[in-house]
Amino acid sequence: MNDESPQRAGRPRRSGGRAARTALRSAKLAEDLRPVRAGMAGGTYKPLSDADVDAIYEAALVALEEIGLIDAPQSGIDAMVGAGAILGEDGRLRFPRGLVKEMLGKAAKDVTLYGRDPKYDMHLTGTNVHFGTAGAAVHMVDVEGRNYRDSTVQDLHDAAKIVQQMDNIHFLQRPMVCRDITDNREMDYNTIYACVSGTTKHVGTSFTEPDFVGDCLEMLHMMAGSEEAWRERPFVLNSNCFVVPPMKFATESCQVMENCIAGGMPVLLLSAGQAGATAPAPIAGAIVQAVAECLAGVVYVNAIKPGHTAVFGTWPFVSDLRTGAMSGGSGEQALLTAGCAQMHQFLGLPGGAAAGIADAKLPDMQAGWEQMCSNVMAGLSGLNMVYEAAGMHASLLGFCHESLVLGNDLLGQAMRCVRGIEVNEATLGLDTMRSVCMGGPGHYLGSDQTLALMQTEYIYPEVADRTSPKEWQELDKPDLIKTAIAQKEKILAERSRVALSPDVDAAIRERFNIHLPVQ
């Protein structure tokens, strides 16, 4: 039982009863008393046996030794061959297992991904779980109009403002493309601006060309106050598709990665194969290939800069094999992601993968079951970084602000499941059971234990509805989507609560062509 219960924290003890309990609930809980928070430990779900994990690792090592990867840039070839990789006459770079293991020894572990506000720092270790957005959707879902339209920089900034207010969304990786900015250089730095000016949580982004990294680093130095301050706490990560599966380096993205590493920016080594298309169709095989590709990335990063922060980003996706189209909302996707989490834990590396994707076009019942299935399984498997966890529809093509608001409730519930069942003398409850059953009231409604656990062990939704049918009718049958729209509009009506300081903002606007109007 929690010694920090509301009663012991100094509030008067109250008798049971609905009004008292509702009042007690209305006080916002201190962060450390909340029933769920970022970084809770999962790991109770293990889709792979220990022997399965060994077999997948061994197959990945064989793939690296015998198949290897092609198309690294010359700078990468030089660094990796220098470290012990072997360049074949077929142009493929192969990795002896000794090299892989040596680089695993050098790789950064137990890393922290920083937020602009330190309270949002994320410690990636063990089975700690964090949920956040990601992706490169090209559409916004217009829920009221039942329509898909091009996504804009304003949409991205709005997503950042919403994420900032959502307790159960722990980071913002850029989920959509600013299609109203046609110059890619401008798009890249405007993407960072739109995200960082809307949230103080950790941000992830991509770069279109290696050349564009410099501008962005300059902006980040301005935001941080100095290059030194930036390098001390880099609050933006480069989500880097350094491979084009199967088993090919993405030449330009590798050059982007080298520039980011030089600039002190953490990287996400992202292998996004599609089972049955660019990865083997069996779930196990898709994991093997993703692990092999990301291990090549670990060699690459640590050959350049030992111990540089890199997230092991095995993101295998699922194809609907009838059509070849992506199906991020499938049960197979949930298994792929959870299986990857086990491999991260086996390797001892900070890891991330994709979950929470809906194939549904709108935030409907299908979206709900698709988003929950992979999110809760990713959480239970102890995935450090659950990417795409909220807002994502149409198998990554559409992003939805209302879904972010709804996703916050969904993820709160998923994280409650990650927290799990605490078993100890107090929670086993024999003393309470004795006093309730033998000479007591015959129910637990007003018991001290019940009141103490009410806020600290049970999580309550923000927008989801728990009324009885009678109450629901009296409330004029609230509609979930309308409730979400109202909450979204309330957040977006306010100026960003965490905008950049006016001085910094003015300096950035002086130096860069910022498309987002001054808010």
By CB atoms closer than 10 A (0-12, 13-18, 19+), residue 254 is buried
24 versus 504: smaller Cβ distance to a second copy: 24
Name residue 321's amino acid: L
Q: How many residues bind a second copy (CB under 8 A)?
A: 133
205 versus 342: smaller Cβ distance to a second copy: 342
Handedness of CA 315, 318, 324, 329 (dihedral sign): negative
For the bound state, the minimum distance from the C-beta of residue 366 to a second copy, rounded and expressed in Å, comes to 5
Residue among 33, 34, 37, 44 that touches a second copy (CB under 8 A): 44
191 touches 220 (CB < 8 A): no
For the bound state, the minimum distance from the C-beta of residue 279 to a second copy, rounded and expressed in Å, comes to 7
Q: Which of 357, 407, 449 is nearest to 165 (CA)?
A: 407
For the bound state, the minimum distance from the C-beta of residue 226 to a second copy, rounded and expressed in Å, comes to 43
Helix (H) or strand (E) holding 507: helix 502-511
How many CB atoms lie under 10 A from the CB of residue 507? 15
For the bound state, the minimum distance from the C-beta of residue 22 to a second copy, rounded and expressed in Å, comes to 5
223 versus 383: smaller Cβ distance to a second copy: 383
For the bound state, the minimum distance from the C-beta of residue 417 to a second copy, rounded and expressed in Å, comes to 5
Residue among 433, 474, 489, 497 that touches a second copy (CB under 8 A): 433
Binding-residue pattern over the window 50 to 89 for a second copy, x denoting contact by CB under 8 A: -xx--xx--x--xx--xx----------------------
Site for a second copy in 363-392 (CB under 8 A): 363-373, 376-377, 380
- Could you tell me the two tokens for 15? 């008798």
Distance CA 288, CA 284 (A): 6
Tokens 């159960």 appear where? 168
225 versus 331: smaller Cβ distance to a second copy: 331
Site for a second copy in 274-303 (CB under 8 A): 275-289
Q: Which of 131, 180, 136 is nearest to 154 (CA)?
A: 180
For the bound state, the minimum distance from the C-beta of residue 317 to a second copy, rounded and expressed in Å, comes to 13
Total residue count of the chain as it appears in this document: 519
486 binds a second copy (CB under 8 A): no
Residue among 30, 325, 506, 518 that touches a second copy (CB under 8 A): 325
Site for a second copy in 436-455 (CB under 8 A): 436-438, 442-445, 447, 449-451, 453-454
94 binds a second copy (CB under 8 A): no
Distance CA 268, CA 386 (A): 12
Instruction: Please state the three-class secondary structure of 46-91 as a single string.
Output: CCCCHHHHHHHHHHHHHHHHHHCEECCCHHHHHHHHHHCCEECCCC
Site for a second copy in 393-422 (CB under 8 A): 394-395, 397-398, 403, 406, 409-410, 412-417, 420-422
223 versus 287: smaller Cβ distance to a second copy: 287
224 versus 459: smaller Cβ distance to a second copy: 459
Tokens 């972010």 appear where? 404
Site for a second copy in 118-177 (CB under 8 A): 139, 146, 148
329 versus 350: smaller Cβ distance to a second copy: 329
How many CB atoms lie under 10 A from the CB of residue 81? 14
Tokens 């009506």 appear where? 493
311 versus 436: smaller Cβ distance to a second copy: 436
- Could you tell me the two tokens for 395? 């198998």
For the bound state, the minimum distance from the C-beta of residue 20 to a second copy, rounded and expressed in Å, comes to 10
Site for a second copy in 454-483 (CB under 8 A): 454, 457-461, 464-469, 472-473, 477, 479-481
Site for a second copy in 229-248 (CB under 8 A): 246-248
169 touches 407 (CB < 8 A): yes
Q: Where are the beta strands (DSSP E) in 86-231?
A: 86-87, 93-94, 111-113, 122-124, 130-133, 139-142, 147-150, 171-173, 202-205
